[in-house]
Amino acid sequence: MRVLLSWLREFVDVQLTPEQLADALMLRGLEVRGLERWGSTWQTMVVGELLEVAPHPRADRLLLTKVRVGKEQVLEVVCGARNIAVGQRVPVALVGAVMLDGRKIERAEKMGVTSEGMLCSGAELDATDDGEGILILDSKAPIGMSMSDFLGEDVIDVDVKPNRGDLLSLLGLAREVGAITGAPVTYRARLLHESGEPVTSGLRLVVADAEAAPRVLLRVVDGVKVGAAPDAVQMRLKAAGLRSISNVVDATNYIMLELGKPTHVFDRAAVGSEIRIRTATSGERLTTLDHVERTLDVSDLVVADERGALALAGVMGGASSEVSGSTESVIIESAVFAPASIRRSAQRHGLRSEASHRFERGQELDLAPVAADQVAVLITAWAGGSVRKGQLDSDPKAIGVTRELAFRPARVRALIGVDISDTEQSTLLSGISIMSTPAKRAASVPVTRNRTVACEKGELLSAVIPPWRRDLELEADIAEEVARLYGYDRIPPTLPGRDLPGYQPQPTALRDRVRSYLAAAGLSEVVTHALVAESISERHAEPVGLVSGALALSEGAAVSEVLILSNPLSVDHDRLRRSLLPSLLDRAEANLRYGALSGALFEVGRGYGGGEAGPQEWTRLALVVWGNIDAAAPGAVTRIWALDEVKRAIASVAAIASVEPRYLPTQTGDSLLLHPGRAARIGGEGIAGLVGELHPAAPEWRDAPRILLAEFALRGLTSGVPAVQQVTLPPTTPPVQRDVALAAPANVLVGDLVGLAGECVTLAVSTELFDLFVAPGMAEGERSVGLRFTFQPAAATELDAQITAQLDTFTSTAATRYGTRVRGDEAQ
Amino acid sequence: MELAALEEQLRTLQTESLAKISAASSSAALEDLGSSLLGKRGVLTDLLRGIGSLSAQDRPKIGSLANEVRAAIEAALADRRATAGAAELTARIVAERVDATTPGPLPQLGSLHPIPETIAAIAQIMGSFGFTVSEGQEVEDDVTNFQLLNIPEDHPSRDLWDTLYLREPGRLLRTHTSPGQIRAMRAGQPPIRVILPGRCFRYEAVDASHGFEFHQVEGLLVDRGTTLADLKGILDELARGLFGPSARTRFRPGYYPFTEPSVAVDVSWGGSKDGWMTILGAGMVHPIVLENGGIDPETHQGFAFGLGVERIAMLRHGIPDLRAFLENDLRMLRGLR
């Protein structure tokens, strides 16, 4: 809410500068968005006194004026407006001034007379809406003073939190300022004069649902002349961020800013003999003031007459009963509506108005009659006319009540952690009109909305809550008031030194080691969007079932359904990704555009999907790499990212999780993103995923560098700490190595042979592929696969027979299963 | 063979050998010379084969002379080997010389992203006060994200969060990490000390300081007798941990439906250009929230805080635009190792 300091001073005597006031408000809980000098653009416009006004010698439509802008300084100014006269004080834009539209005032000849400035209209200053005549200033305006100093306003923009609807008014803010500064708060209601016919003649009020509208008041003002509001009023509303509409409508907004109570005015002539507050009928139509025809339903509350809806209650008036230039008589409606109902209507119709904003936050019952009276007074003051006798009031007994709220000062101390005495708490609360005294009898303390605690009178203070503090319901609410009035800055910091929870391992420990390893290995960590476009989402999704068993339980398993937003910001980000790879690829492409000929990216992030068990999330490590691994150096061989290099990185990462990856053939439908001839499933206990080269048809594809991708679940990524390894001290005997070379037919996969070796040769401490080549004389597609087994026998001859037996089992099984033969058996 | 002739041959061998040795220029030549003179098939051995034809009394004479000759040759060889070896080493050192002052090939260093790194920094600081990391779900429901946090439906406080909803009714993307408070309280028994980091989502237009995806870290402590003063103490330490020992905090009243009293915290430190920067919101856990978490607000109280990771990372690294975090330009990332 934009608060004019000059206006606020009519309610509370603040002597502080705007900056001091803003600081004081901040420290006591009112967030200040900013300070502004409204009219600061008027530095080069000054107050001038018209000394002469004469017809222009050569132009009928122009006047020639002499205007004094300083003791000795008189300017000759040509003026096109007709509303000026000698002796008036007016704003003068001096030569050099820049107007709002960017126009620069220059010494200019106008039909043979040199004009040394410009007299300004209210519209030219954006002070009022009047663009016809010159803005006539107060007759005591100091000549030569800059307009910025004379008419400018200090404006504090206060961010009023949703629980403090009472602060959406100058009166409410004045109370708060008074509590902070100790200055007295005064509100003087303007005196109302009634005359003529009683309001009841020809008008009835019916409130169909008192719960939706606890109090409604109507007043009628006859004989108004609708026109512009006085300049000073227009300026105040503009400075406060509201548009000036007309003298009648401005009266309602003026009172809304003063009291926080929205009211509405109807053209009497457009209303029948009855004002009825009721729920709309389904399909009922209403054209609102913004000239949009709206279809209502039964949860909308309307102000209607016997013929139909006139306004969407608390949200916006209707076009048919809008006050216009021909309006002679108006009905003022001042009501209190149920907040939730107004909020729902405003949201459904996408109509958030200053009025609905306030109604949503609740209204003070007592202000309904006050606002009706005050609006009536201002209308007669600004638009003439007379206020009919009396008012229509749906429920005069619906008045604001003060509530008693019992609280335990000891609990307040225990919550804040500072020894603030009962008396001091009472004193602090009295500053915001909450009077508290030791309770005279035992009472219940409201701890939550469902829970009260019965307490003896000795431990209680009983607080009387003023009607405007609807937000104070519970004991904790009182504690907050005491704390903020005491001052958070005065609370000494302490460290909580009570029971510590038992030791818990940080679940991120393993992940952090993986991340550090990858960074050290030359990869850069990225964080990419979880919300992606359909085109990205469809490029790749983790195959359902790829991650299963214990790994799926710890790291999550992909499910098939895509989670789509119902209210996306844009189609580019309207659904949750099921794989990290397309997002990473998108970033790789961006970096290629930025000229990164080589790059290596990784992300530990989530995939999302829906299934029978509801939404699921899973955590994966994904990487996208291309180009050179190392920076080039003279004489050094530069390694290039290739499938084997990616596998090297995967193996290192897997080792951190005590996992050994194996590579299996991909299956139909695994990925559209991967090169079908250069991709594999990653398998093994504790790891599952896909690795491969980017499909050559992919748009990012260049002949070089090749782009490689991997995404996998790894045991412990979300919950793991690195395993503590058990070690057997090696014997003094050296390890034994046995090599086996197999000639494998074309369709045999090395991964299968390695897998079989692992099953058969269980005595080996490691198995490595040391050779893979095509030897001269081999059959078409046949390859020589060299496997090196390392054994660590404790004595030189130990196990020798067993080793040989296991190797034989391996070679013979391979021969029968895959058709391999041991190389060296044949004559070479 | 005559004794005298053999003696003469041995002496001649000595003289000629010493001359050859002093003329030899390399270790390799000396090695060859040594074996050709003294080796198993060398000249000396060859000569001594004639000893068999000598008389028993002459043999010792020739034996001792042969030893003299051998000793003299060996001494000359050793002497010459030392000289030649030193010269060769010098020559090798000169020959093998390279320019060792070249910068050397640079490793392509990787880097860690500032968002997870900032979360890790917070986890480390809070870990020293007994707080453990717990990562919750990002797809939430209206009940946990709002209602259990004392944000009823149709309440204006909902305006504080612009929400992205899934098509399935009641499902949404969490707007803050605070629903994790409810889950943490329901999962455990006090004393509870957890931090809940993670990704959050809001219906928000993107600019230099806003994004529709961002990260928060929630902190929650529930115990007997926890106070607002304790919250100040912990957050002072967190601020110093994040911004250095010169960091100062300013606590002022704030508003969050799930804390009461609520606090807004500003920080100022040596590197902050603009004085006080708001970094987090906090407060004492609202009794309604405790109750919804299954904790008796009459016996236990706690504090909670939530901070924006992007904002902290921007302040710590001097990154002026929040969009840079999701842009992932390697030129920036590699500067952050």
Residue range A721-768, pLDDT digits in tens: 777 888 888 888 888 899 999 999 988 999 899 999 999 999 898 899
List the single best residue of B113, B161, B263 to mutate versus A (max A Cβ within 10 A).
B113
Question: What is the distance between the alpha carbons of residues A473 and A465, in angstroms, rounded to a whole number?
Answer: 9
Predicted pLDDT of residue A413: 96
Q: Residue A49: pLDDT above 90?
A: yes
Q: Whole-prediction pTM value?
A: 0.86
Question: What is the distance between the alpha carbons of residues B35 and B92, in angstroms, rounded to a whole number?
Answer: 25
Q: Is A489 on the interface with B (CB under 8 A)?
A: yes
Q: Give tens-digit pLDDT for B11-29.
A: 888 888 888 888 888 888 8
Predicted pLDDT of residue A322: 95
Q: Do B253 and A28 form a contact (C-beta atoms < 8 A)?
A: yes
Residue of A nearest to B111 (CA): A524
Q: How far apart are the first and last CA of chain B?
A: 88
Eight-class DSSP state of A115: E
* Residue whose C-alpha is closest to residue A501's, from B223, B169, B63: B223
Q: Do A374 and A396 form a contact (C-beta atoms < 8 A)?
A: no
Predicted pLDDT of residue B274: 65
Collapsed DSSP state (helix, strand, coil) of residue A208: coil
Task: List CB contacts (< 8 A) between B217 and chain A.
Answer: none
Q: Give tens-digit pLDDT for A230-241.
A: 999 999 999 999
Q: Average pLDDT, stretch A412-438?
A: 95
Instruction: Indicate the pairing of strand A330-336 with strand A386-389.
Output: unpaired
Q: Residue B297: pLDDT above 90?
A: yes
Positive or negative torsion for Cα B78, B81, B86, B92: negative
Predicted pLDDT of residue B108: 82
Question: What is the distance between the alpha carbons of residues A194 and A179, in angstroms, rounded to a whole number?
Answer: 36
Mean pLDDT score of chain B: 91
Q: In what order do the strands lie in the sheet with A117-119?
A: A74-79, A63-68, A45-55, A89-94, A117-119
Q: Average pLDDT, stretch B233-239?
A: 96
Collapsed DSSP state (helix, strand, coil) of residue A78: strand
Lowest pLDDT segment from A133-147, A249-263, B92-106: B92-106
Q: Give tens-digit pLDDT for B84-133.
A: 888 889 999 999 998 888 888 778 889 999 999 999 999 999 999 999 99
Cβ–Cβ of A628/B108 closer than 8 Å?
yes
A491-520 burial by CB neighbour count: b if 16+ within 10 A, else e? bebbebeeeebeeeebbbbbbbbbbebbbe
A225-239 burial by CB neighbour count: b if 16+ within 10 A, else e? ebebbebebbbbbbb
Radius of gyration of chain A (CA): 41
* Residue whose C-alpha is closest to residue B218's, from B173, B281, B162: B281
Question: What is the distance between the alpha carbons of residues A225 and A245, in angstroms, rounded to a whole number?
Answer: 14
* Residue whose C-alpha is closest to residue A315's, from A350, A282, A276: A350
Task: List CB contacts (< 8 A) between A615 and chain B.
Answer: 137, 139, 166, 168, 171
* Residue whose C-alpha is closest to residue A254's, from A271, A242, A267: A242
Instruction: Give the percent of chain A with pLDDT over 70.
Output: 98
* Residue whose C-alpha is closest to residue B217's, from B313, B315, B320: B313
Q: Average pLDDT, stretch A58-82?
A: 89
Length of chain A: 828
Closest Cα of chain B to A30: distance in Å? 8
Question: What is the distance between the alpha carbons of residues A90 and A257, in angstroms, rounded to a whole number?
Answer: 29
Predicted pLDDT of residue A701: 66
List the single best residue of A1, A363, A569 to mutate versus B (max B Cβ within 10 A).
A569
Number of C-beta neighbours around residue B197 at 10 A: 26
Predicted pLDDT of residue B281: 95
Q: Residue A502: pLDDT above 60?
A: yes
Residue of A nearest to B137 (CA): A617
Q: Provide the β-strand partners of residue A159.
A: A31
Q: Provide the β-strand partners of residue A791.
A: A736
The DSSP string of A248-277 is HHHHHHHHHHHHS---EEEEGGGS-SEEEE
Closest Cα of chain A to B191: distance in Å? 5
Collapsed DSSP state (helix, strand, coil) of residue A307: coil
Cβ–Cβ of B127/A520 closer than 8 Å?
no
Q: Say how many CA atoms lie within 13 Å of A412 toward its Cβ.
A: 30
The DSSP string of A612-633 is TTEEEEEEEEEEEEESBSS---
Q: Average pLDDT, stretch A647-672?
A: 93
Q: Is A520 on the interface with B (CB under 8 A)?
A: yes
Q: Give tens-digit pLDDT for A445-458.
A: 999 999 999 999 88
> Quick one: pLDDT band at residue B272, thresholds 50, 70, 90?
low
Residue with tokens 């010493």: B18
A565: which 2 tokens?
Answer: 């937003």
Eight-class DSSP state of B176: S
Residue of A nearest to B127 (CA): A506
Residue of B nearest to A512 (CA): B120
Question: What is the distance between the alpha carbons of residues A629 and A636, in angstroms, rounded to a whole number?
Answer: 12
Predicted pLDDT of residue A60: 82
Predicted pLDDT of residue A827: 39
Predicted pLDDT of residue A828: 38
Number of C-beta neighbours around residue B278 at 10 A: 16
Q: Is A404 on the interface with B (CB under 8 A)?
A: no
Backbone angles phi, psi at A197, to 5 degrees: -70, 155
Task: List CB contacts (< 8 A) between A525 and chain B.
Answer: 110-113, 116, 333
Question: What is the distance between the alpha carbons of residues B291 and B269, in angstroms, rounded to a whole number?
Answer: 38
Number of C-beta neighbours around residue A214 at 10 A: 18
Eight-class DSSP state of A542: P
Cβ–Cβ of B328/A527 closer than 8 Å?
yes
Q: Residue B82: pLDDT above 70?
A: yes
Q: Give tens-digit pLDDT for A718-733.
A: 988 777 888 888 888 8
Number of C-beta neighbours around residue B160 at 10 A: 14
> Quick one: pLDDT band at residue B56, thresholds 50, 70, 90?
confident
B45-66 burial by CB neighbour count: b if 16+ within 10 A, else e? eebbeeeeebeeebeeebeebb
Q: Give tens-digit pLDDT for B141-154.
A: 999 999 999 998 88
A residues 551-580 closer than 8 Å to B (CB):
563-569, 573, 576
Choose between B78 and A60: higher pLDDT.
B78
Q: Average pLDDT, stretch A619-633?
A: 91
Nearest 10 degrees: CA dihedral of A571, A573, A576, A577?
100
Task: List CB contacts (< 8 A) between A631 and chain B.
Answer: 105-108
Question: What is the distance between the alpha carbons of residues A547 and B129, in angstroms, rounded to a whole number?
Answer: 36
Question: What is the distance between the alpha carbons of residues B329 and A21, in angstroms, rounded to a whole number?
Answer: 44
Backbone angles phi, psi at B187, to 5 degrees: -85, -25
Question: What is the distance between the alpha carbons of residues A595 and A121, in angstroms, rounded to a whole number?
Answer: 57
Task: List CB contacts (< 8 A) between A27 and chain B.
Answer: 252-253
> Quick one: pLDDT band at residue A505, thresholds 50, 70, 90?
confident
Q: Do B54 and B1 form a contact (C-beta atoms < 8 A)?
A: yes
Angle among Cα A127, A131, A135 to the nearest 5 degrees reads: 55
Q: Do A76 and A117 form a contact (C-beta atoms < 8 A)?
A: no
Amino acid identity at A473: E
Residue of B nearest to A593 (CA): B329
Q: Provide the β-strand partners of residue A333.
A: A218, A264
